[in-house]
Structure 1
Amino acid sequence: MTHSDPKHPLRVLQLTDPHLTAQSDGALLGVNTRDSLAAVIEDVLKEHGQPDLVLATGDISQDASVEAYRYFGEQLEAFECPSLWIAGNHDDTSLMNSIAAEFRADQSEWMQGGWHFVMLDSSVHGKVFGELSGEELAHLDNALSEQPELPTMVCLHHHPVDIGSDWMEKIGLKTREAFWRIIDKHPQVKVVLWGHIHQELHRQRNGVQLLATPSTCIQFTAGASNFSVEPRAPGYRWIELNPSGNIYTEVRRATQFEFELDENSSGY
């Protein structure tokens, strides 16, 4: 099948929050993040086969290292398709974008399979919370205004809604009112997709699907008031998009991956 074949849905893979480091033995709360990413990629290929597009929604690196970004790009070569990367709070945006450019993964807009993808940078240098600058908000509004007929997915790192977790509410997207004002003006937006929260979420808001996805490494406990992790397997989201605007999506976990999680940590 070709990427643009209208008879088949566009197969999209979301990978998020791998937290890779320069060192091959780099771990987060006891979990080797390279090994957990490898387990996720193995599960994708076994359960779904090749995607048509990979969306990497931030915190690609834990230490903002060239080696981590390049390693990530090399691992994505298991997939015979384009990828698009955006920064999270642990990333160095300019460095990440420079490596992403080597893998042709630095585009802030993409059209494929009858869909329009808008990639936003919600990272704030030196901060854990997210914001969309005036420039990013203008990019979003302009991109949506220029393609009013195409069903659209908007991607960012930070959560733009309250997820019912007190400690994470302080580190979500601060500019959410301005963000939603733009989204609400453009009815072609069908999906808003993000990472950051290391857990699965699927809601609807004014007809827009709101999707967040487990990390490819450690998982945060849903609904926790204070920082808390739970020993659930690393995961990913698979999405099938029809040109009509209809979507099918599921979250899967690499349950074959064995790990010992440090559940007593107070942060990451």
Structure 2
Amino acid sequence: MRLIQITDCHLYADPAARGRIGVPLRQLEAVVEAVNRERPDRVVVSGDISQDETAASYGLAERTLSRLDAPWCWLPGNHDRTDLMAERRALPAELDLGDWRALLLDTQVRGREGGELGAERLAALDVHLAGDDRPTLLIMHHPPLAIGTAWLDAIGLADAEAFWRLVAPHRQVRAVCFGHVHQAFEGAKLLAGRQVAVYGCPAASDQFLPGATTFALDEAARPGYRLLDLGPGTLETRVVRVAP
């Protein structure tokens, strides 16, 4: 099973609008074209679909992402309007990936850059995890641990400690994938004698500079995506960069 993560498209209603460096629509189109060459089975877009939170930007996103040669779905980021997303396409909570499954977590808190699951969503996650012992991938927008970029670490998942306490007894959780940080990241969380892999994904739009104390762009880094090959109990992953 080949799963690909795309994240942080930051589209505007105007297809020609520029982001901080490039044109988000052109960047996303290049990512979609490259992803199709990978022949994925599923694609997940992990938030910040829109920059201006307009219905037109989500229409543009849906038309562009529908060029993918695989089923795709999305989940919200801090910039998104979940009501406008849901008008276009459902926001599933779970994906059946054969030997694996993925749970898609909504970490958005309207009006805040940082994220939080909160008691209700944590309780729902616990129920979902208890219902299936297949190897499980958790996908969310906000990072559940520090990535070493100070200004981004300040706007990560506010209740990360509660999240990890909940995940700890569920040994089928093998990895967590997130967006939000506009850069590649690989780390791990030690839980109850095992390691859970944690992966960040480059943005489909402009990139942030790793290790920066305050906001900074990585003008040399290209847009990209994360590829995950899921086998019976195995996970292999790599980041792919794209020339927009």
> Structure 1 length normalisation: TM-score?
0.86
Please state whether the residue corresponding to 1:179 is helix, strand or coil: helix
Aligned residue in 2 for 1:84: 73
Contact 1:19 1:33 (8 Å CA) reproduced? yes
1:45 matched to 2:36? The reply is yes
Work out which of the residue numbers 45, 48, 54 in structure 2 matches 1:59. Answer: 48
Q: Distance between the aligned counterparts of 2:144 and 2:225, measured in 1?
A: 20
User: 1:100-179 counterparts in 2 under 5 A?
Assistant: 100-101=89-90, 106-148=91-133, 150-179=134-163
Aligned residue in 2 for 1:75: 64
Aligned residue in 2 for 1:251: 239
Work out which of the residue numbers 166, 169, 184 in structure 2 matches 1:182. Answer: 166
Aligned residue in 2 for 1:17: 8
> Displacement of 1:218 after TM fit?
0.5
Please state whether the residue corresponding to 2:66 is helix, strand or coil: helix
Q: Which runs of 5+ in 2 are unaligned?
A: none
> Displacement of 1:224 after TM fit?
0.5
CA deviations 1:8-36 (Å, max 9, x no partner) are xx011100000011111122113110000
Q: Distance between the aligned counterparts of 2:14 and 2:156, measured in 1?
A: 29
Question: Counterpart of 1:214 in structure 2: which amino acid?
Answer: P
Aligned residue in 2 for 1:97: 86
Please state whether the residue corresponding to 2:89 is helix, strand or coil: helix
Question: Counterpart of 1:93 in structure 2: which amino acid?
Answer: T
CA deviations 1:77-125 (Å, max 9, x no partner) are 2223222211101001222222222xxxx21112122211111110110
Q: Distance between the aligned counterparts of 1:184 and 1:94, measured in 2?
A: 32
Question: Counterpart of 1:114 in structure 2: which amino acid?
Answer: D
Question: Counterpart of 1:188 in structure 2: which amino acid?
Answer: Q
Question: Counterpart of 2:7 in structure 1: which amino acid?
Answer: T
Contact 1:190 1:245 (8 Å CA) reproduced? no
1:28 matched to 2:19? The reply is yes
> Displacement of 1:173 after TM fit?
0.5
Aligned residue in 1 for 2:206: 218
> Displacement of 1:65 after TM fit?
1.5
CA deviations 1:167-219 (Å, max 9, x no partner) are 11211110101110111110000110000000000112232110111001110
Please state whether the residue corresponding to 1:116 is helix, strand or coil: strand
Q: Which runs of 5+ in 1 are unaligned?
A: 1-9, 258-268
Please state whether the residue corresponding to 1:205 is helix, strand or coil: strand
CA RMSD of aligned residues (A): 1.2
Aligned residues: 239
Question: Counterpart of 2:100 in structure 1: which amino acid?
Answer: W
CA deviations 1:200-248 (Å, max 9, x no partner) are 0011223211011100111000010010001111111111001x22111
Identity of aligned residues (%): 37
